Amino acid sequence: MPQGTATPWSYALIRLLFRFVLKIFYGTIVIENAHLIPETGRPCIVCANHSNSLTDALLLVTSIPTSRRNMLRLTAKATQFGRRTFTSWLIESAGTVPIKRRKDYADGNADNTEIMEHLMQACDAVCLFPEGMSRYHPTIAPLKTGVSRLVSDLLSRNRDKPDFEMTVLTCSITYMHRQHFRSDVLVTFHAPLVFTPKNNPELLTPIDFTQIRALTSQIQSKISSGTFDSPSWDLIRTAKLAARIYAPLGTMMSLGDHVRIARTFLEAFKAPKDDFPEDARQEHEQLPKDLKRYQDQLAKWAIKDDRIRRPLPRHTIFSRLFIRLLWALCLFTISSPGLLLWLPVFSTSFYAVHNFKKTGPIFDTYDEIAQYKLIYGLMSGICVWITAVAFTWPIAIVTTFLVPAFMWMTLRWFEDAVSAFRAFTALTRLLLVGKPKLKEMHEARKDLHARVLNFAVTVLGLPEDPEVYFLQAGGKEKGRVRGNWESKARYFSIKRRRKRDWNETLRLYDKVDYPEDE
């Protein structure tokens, strides 16, 4: 079997560097089904949804194990090349292939023949985003037919080799909150599509274009099957709430399970009512409306569903207020010295993103916020590291390693401090809401829970007891812990803090909503 292109040192360095940066920016990165990735030497096109600009590509590069592929060749619009910017240097050093787009040229001509020939002859994995562009949208854009045509061209050029294999590996990337620090990401690889001239004569030239459209539709269906694909952000918000009510906070489920449960509700809510049995149609239509109304109330008071599910007596609230505040103050005190090192990183990223948001509407800018935070955070972080080492030159051999370790532990302590203070503010708001309103919301929540559970079990076919089912399903490799002891010990892990809520970010409030254009 061919060995494929050797990994350039610059690519290896970039992969190592951004694996480190991505694990700092995102709280948990869960990779599913890496064993399905074709090994080096087999021609492979990796296709994924594209909603987070350059971050999507970096995430795929760092998610594919080196034991499976030497490297993943990326593609990017040709206008990104030849600039005197860090981004331009980054994509060129990573072996990225430039793709010309008609919209970037006044005469509308964009000849990619030579580039495509190079890609088709390479026995490497090539990353293509069939949507054609990155946009901040809740739905996956209709895929362009370029990947299907590329498969057809490659099979046609090798028609004299009946057993020549061409693989299309689809991947779904799901960000809980793509632009927010310490949010979570799920990367799911699907079973690859394998094509040969012998088994797929319908894709050999001359070809009926309906075959190209059918293959494109098949690729879109596989990508969509692993992530949220919704006509609106509101529907995703409602589906996530349904998933949290069905499998409440504390259910020991993986991030992948959480996404699949939420997606099951999402697909049901967006489906036509005629797809359901007659006795379930009214509930299919009314349940999302009632869930949205309940979520609006939660957002208004800035409290989460779990606070309503398990109401606390006032004396318990006051005692927990004292404990949470004391713990937050202790952790803030411990992390204060290290936050001086993080201050330039946070300030630089905030300033860059603040100015960038002014350049366009949400749908055209929010998909690049994570990219800006990653790049500006990386550059400012390197500057902080170099400066700290220079100021401690006599013991530089120690501070070279001590400074990054100290910054990481500071982030861990600070993240726990923010979590404790977030709990303190949530408990304070419970007192402000008042007993009558909390009781009213608790009763509404009990009714919703019964309806959601009945809909999930009888209509969607989900397990009857999710807390027991997901305790026994999955594994640690998918971002979960099995028992109470391990869960508590994980809280103090230096690798990452234990999370109970996959919507959690490094914020002083719980993040459940999405920014939308007016």
- What average pLDDT does this structure show over 199-226? 94
54 vs 423: CA distance, rounded Å: 34
Q: Which of the 8 DSSP states describes residue 373?
A: H
Structural domain includes residue 175:
yes
222 vs 244: CA distance, rounded Å: 25
158 vs 44: CA distance, rounded Å: 15
In contact, 331 and 414? CB cutoff 8 Å: yes
Any idea which residue has 């760092």 for tokens? Answer: 62
User: Which residues, 6+ apart, have CB-to-CB distance to 291 below 8 Å?
Assistant: 238, 241, 242, 245, 448, 452
- Per-residue pLDDT of 339-367, as tens digits, reads 999 999 999 999 999 999 888 888 888 99
Peptide bond into 43 cis (omega under 30): no
Give the chain's radius of gyration (CA, Å): 25
Range of lowest pLDDT (4-8, 31-35, 456-460, 483-487)? 483-487
pLDDT at 171 over 90: yes
242 vs 265: CA distance, rounded Å: 7
Report which secondary-structure segment, H or E, holds 352. Answer: helix 314-357
| Cβ neighbour number for residue 419 with a 10 Å cutoff | 24
Longest dimension (CA), the chain: 80
In contact, 5 and 71? CB cutoff 8 Å: yes
The pLDDT > 70 percentage for the chain reads: 88
Which pLDDT does position 319 carry in this prediction?
96
Structural domain includes residue 149:
yes
Q: How many distinct structural domains can be found in the chain? A: 1
Which residues lie across from 186 on neighbouring strands?
Answer: 30, 174
pLDDT at 504 over 50: yes
Which residues lie across from 194 on neighbouring strands?
Answer: 167
CA angle, corner 516, sides to 24 and 229, nearest 5?
Answer: 75
The pLDDT > 90 percentage for the chain reads: 59
pLDDT grade for 122, boundaries at 50, 70 and 90: low
Structural domain includes residue 271:
no
Output the domain CATH number for residue 216.
Answer: 3.40.1130.10
Which pLDDT does position 483 carry in this prediction?
56
**Domain range enclosing 54:** 9-224
pLDDT at 428 over 60: yes
Q: Which long-range contacts (CB under 8 A, 24 or more apart) does 482-490 make?
A: 482/252, 487/252
- Per-residue pLDDT of 300-333, as tens digits, reads 988 889 999 999 999 999 999 999 999 999 999 9
Q: Which of the 8 DSSP states describes residue 158?
A: T
Structural domain includes residue 135:
yes
Which pLDDT does position 518 carry in this prediction?
42
Report which secondary-structure segment, H or E, holds 282. Answer: helix 281-301
User: Which residues, 6+ apart, have CB-to-CB distance to 212 below 8 Å?
Assistant: 145, 148, 149, 152
Q: Provide the mean pLDDT of the chain.
A: 87
In contact, 308 and 445? CB cutoff 8 Å: yes
- What average pLDDT does this structure show over 406-427? 93
222 vs 169: CA distance, rounded Å: 10
Strands (E) in 87-233, as ranges, are: 97-99, 125-128, 166-175, 184-189, 193-195
Structural domain includes residue 289:
no
480 vs 256: CA distance, rounded Å: 10
195 vs 450: CA distance, rounded Å: 47
In contact, 66 and 359? CB cutoff 8 Å: no
Helices (H), 94-198: 113-121, 146-157
In contact, 511 and 504? CB cutoff 8 Å: yes
492 vs 412: CA distance, rounded Å: 9
In contact, 415 and 335? CB cutoff 8 Å: no
Nearest to 259 by CA among 246, 241, 243, 248: 243
pLDDT grade for 243, boundaries at 50, 70 and 90: very high
Report which secondary-structure segment, H or E, holds 307. Answer: helix 305-309
Which pLDDT does position 107 carry in this prediction?
65
Number of H helices, E strands in the chain: 17, 9
Structural domain includes residue 337:
no
pLDDT at 392 over 70: yes
pLDDT at 384 over 80: yes
- Per-residue pLDDT of 254-276, as tens digits, reads 899 999 999 999 999 999 989 99
CA distances from 233 to 296, 366, 395, 496, 517 (A): 14, 14, 52, 29, 11
- What average pLDDT does this structure show over 421-437? 92
- Per-residue pLDDT of 270-303, as tens digits, reads 999 899 989 899 999 999 999 999 999 999 988 8
pLDDT at 42 over 70: yes
CB-neighbour burial class of residue 248 (10 A; exposed 0-12, middle 13-18, buried 19+): middle
User: Which residues, 6+ apart, have CB-to-CB distance to 483 below 8 Å?
Assistant: none
456 vs 459: CA distance, rounded Å: 6
pLDDT at 470 over 60: yes
In contact, 236 and 137? CB cutoff 8 Å: no
Q: Would you call 165 helix, strand, or coil by DSSP?
A: coil
pLDDT grade for 175, boundaries at 50, 70 and 90: very high
Structural domain includes residue 43:
yes
pLDDT at 236 over 90: yes
CA angle, corner 99, sides to 93 and 104, nearest 5?
Answer: 120
pLDDT grade for 41, boundaries at 50, 70 and 90: confident
pLDDT at 71 over 80: yes
Structural domain includes residue 100:
yes
pLDDT at 13 over 80: yes
